[in-house]
């Protein structure tokens, strides 16, 4: 059994997918524990009542997606060694969580209300977020030529928009964001990412 076990729901997205990608890109042995079952029973066994969690043999269990990504990044060379640069990457990962939280507010039981909320989100918050995120990218990746956990986090989050997961948000949202679009292409073209996505 591997020393690392990542537990997350059994679907290819959300907060756990970036950690799956990071472990695969790192090329380390790990167990992909895809939770299927009664969440109400599982929830109290996690550190903060949520997934993903990363169990590190002999050390314990980490919770919170950004903490897990930071650990993987530091352990396996997927974060800059320079502390300021690492913090800059962490800031972008935190901003992704802000984006997810704001997007969640657009869900509505009434279809017309949801459409209005999503359209407003697209031209408002999402447009501002992508413009600000572009300023953080040196190209093609956040830090330049080396892929990092921040790139993987951004990739997983924005792929939801490009593949139409959010109805009423056009899949062309990155058409006027060339640096973000280039980051998405560069991540997808990374051999280990491409290998993971082809599974």
Instruction: For residues 40-61, give the mean pLDDT.
Output: 96
Q: For residue 103, give the CATH number of its domain.
A: 1.20.1050.10
pLDDT digits (tens, 9 = 90+) for 150-199: 999 999 999 999 999 999 999 999 999 999 999 999 999 999 999 999 98
CA–CA distance, 68 with 89 (Å, rounded to integer): 14
Could you tell me the residue range of the domain that residue 158 belongs to?
83-190
Q: Are strands 4-9 and 31-35 parallel, antiparallel or unpaired?
A: parallel
**Domain harbouring 43, CATH code:** 3.40.30.10
The whole-number average pLDDT for the span 69-75 is: 98
- On whether both 51 and 98 belong to a single domain, the answer is no
pLDDT value of residue 2: 73
128 and 68 co-located in one domain: no
Distance between CA atoms of residues 159 and 70, nearest Å: 21
Tell me the longest C-alpha to C-alpha distance in the chain: 52
Q: What is the average per-residue pLDDT within 23-42?
A: 96
In a domain, 196, yes or no: no
Does any domain span residue 32? yes
pLDDT band at 42 (very low <50, low <70, confident <90, very high): very high
List, in sequence order, every residue forming a beta bridge with 63; answer none if it has no partner. 53
Q: Domain check: are 106 and 172 in the same one?
A: yes
Question: 149 and 18 in contact (C-beta within 8 Å)?
Answer: yes
Average pLDDT along the chain: 96
197 domain residue, yes or no? no
Global pTM reads: 0.96
Mean pLDDT, to the nearest integer, of 77-81? 97
Same-domain pairing of 179 and 123: yes
Question: Which residue intervals of the chain are DSSP H helices?
Answer: 14-26, 39-42, 65-76, 83-104, 111-121, 127-134, 149-162, 178-189, 191-197
**Percent of the chain at pLDDT above 70?**
99
Task: Give the chain's domain count.
Answer: 2
Given a cut of 60, whether residue 1 has pLDDT beyond it is no
**Model pLDDT for residues 25-34, shown as the tens digit of each residue:** 999 999 999 9
167: helix, strand or coil = coil
pLDDT value for 151: 98
Q: Crossing angle, helix 65-76 and helix 83-104, to 10 degrees?
A: 150
Helix, coil or strand: residue 33: strand
Distance (Å, whole) CA 199 – CA 64: 26
Same-domain pairing of 57 and 14: yes
* Assigned token pair, 74: 């530091």
Segment 58-82 shows an average pLDDT of 97
Percent of the chain with pLDDT over 90: 97
**Percentages of the chain per state (helix, strand, coil), in multiples of 5:** 55, 10, 35
pLDDT tens per residue across span 86-125 = 999 999 999 999 999 999 999 999 999 999 999 999 999 9
Distance of CA 71 to the CA centre of its chain: 15
């Amino acid at each position: 059994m591997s020393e690392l076990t990542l537990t997350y729901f059994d679907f290819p997205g959300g907060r756990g997918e970036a950690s799956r990608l990071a472990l695969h890109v790192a090329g380390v042995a790990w167990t992909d524990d895809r939770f299927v079952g009664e969440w109400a029973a599982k929830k109290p066994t996690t550190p903060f009542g949520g997934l993903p969690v990363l169990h590190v043999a002999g050390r314990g269990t980490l919770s919170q997606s950004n903490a897990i990504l930071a650990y993987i990044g530091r352990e396996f060379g997927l974060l800059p060694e320079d502390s300021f640069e690492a913090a800059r990457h962490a800031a972008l990962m935190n901003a992704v969580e802000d984006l997810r939280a704001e997007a969640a507010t657009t869900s509505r039981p009434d279809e017309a209300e949801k459409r209005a909320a999503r359209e407003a989100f697209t031209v408002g918050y999402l447009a501002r977020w992508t413009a600000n995120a572009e300023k953080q990218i040196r190209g093609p990746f956040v830090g330049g030529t080396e892929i990092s956990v921040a790139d993987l986090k951004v990739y997983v989050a924005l792929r939801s928009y490009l593949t139409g997961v959010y109805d009423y948000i056009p899949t062309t949202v990155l058409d006027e964001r060339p640096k973000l679009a280039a980051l998405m292409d560069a991540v997808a073209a990374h051999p280990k990412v491409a290998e993971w996505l082809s599974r």
